[in-house]
Amino acid sequence: MTKSFVFIGLSLILTMTACTDTARDGPSTRYPEPIASLVVPAGHPTAISQERTLTVFAAASLTGAFREIGMGFESTYPGVSVNFNFAGSQILRAQIEQGAVADVFASADHNNMDVLFPDELIVVDSYRDFTTNRLTVILPPGNPGNVQDLGDLAKANLKLVLADSSVPAGNYARQIFTKMSMDPVYGVDFMTKVLANIVSNETDVKQVVTKVELGEADAGIVYVSDSITARDHLTISIPENFNIVASYPIAILTTALEPDLAVAFVDYVISPTGQAVLSKWGFSPMID
């Protein structure tokens, strides 16, 4: 099915909604209101007439939170199953560009969402930021590298693992090092020394956590939300003046096979219930 056919079909059969405050400029495609069968009064879930599956592509750092949100969504809408594909945002974006069919995409950055606009793969009016995250340094049990502060990331022979620079978390980590190199406390060569200590660049942040947990690295930089789920780890906080506030956008794809379910899922994520789950997993509310 061609993209143009999908757009024509959506415009003919689905109700349009007004633009949201966080919608990005782009094609004038709008997203549908949930169908009547999905409008559920509080405390009274409505049964779906047939089994249906919603497919959600989500950044790896959302794994724990979205699995819990998915279970809550399924409980709210009996008959609906949520199928998740978790990976680095750059991998998910590439899969979508190559024709993978999904209903919703939740990215850990704007870059991997925004590049989908030219090919009209995103329903523009559904695009909104839904949570934020920050980064932290994670250390393995016992701290074999004797990392006591951020400056120790630059000491010789330290084994550091990061997400690749193409991964949002890896890009953010390198932005942090750039900021630190501008501070006389760390020196202009701080970033060069730190990058020289990298022993592995991972395709998503979950793999960074795994490498540190296994003792294959003396330190790694991950999201605060990932550090919460790590086992027997130590952390070093990154001060606000160096840290990055990562905004997470979510959007419905124009190729969605279940556009009404997609609308309902996005609404659930940004609802007080969805936001409470995200907070539990270490994410933060949107910053005005």
Please answer whether residues 235 and 249 qualify as being in contact, where contact means their C-beta atoms are separated by less than 8 angstroms.
no
What digits encode the pLDDT tens for the residues 144-181? 999 999 999 999 999 999 999 999 999 999 999 999 99
List the CATH code of the domain at 3-132+247-280.
3.40.190.10
pLDDT at 64: 94
Residue type, 153: L
The structure tokens listed for 160 are 């550091």
Token pair 């405390």 is found at: 43
Residues of the chain with pLDDT under 50: 1-48, 288
Question: For tokens 């936001």, what's the residue?
Answer: 275
Residue 232 is predicted with a pLDDT of 64
Structure tokens at 80: 């609906």
pTM: 0.81
Question: Does the domain spanning 135-237 belong to CATH 3.40.190.10?
Answer: yes
Of 181, 29, 69, 165, the C-alpha closest to 109 is: 165
Q: Break the chain into its structural domains and give their ranges.
A: 3-132+247-280, 135-237
- CA distance linking residue 164 with residue 89, whole number of Å: 12
Same fold, 3-132+247-280 and 135-237: yes
The pLDDT, as a whole number, for residue 244 is 95
Residue 130 main-chain phi, psi, to 5 deg: -125, -10
CB-CB neighbours of 243 under 10 Å: 17
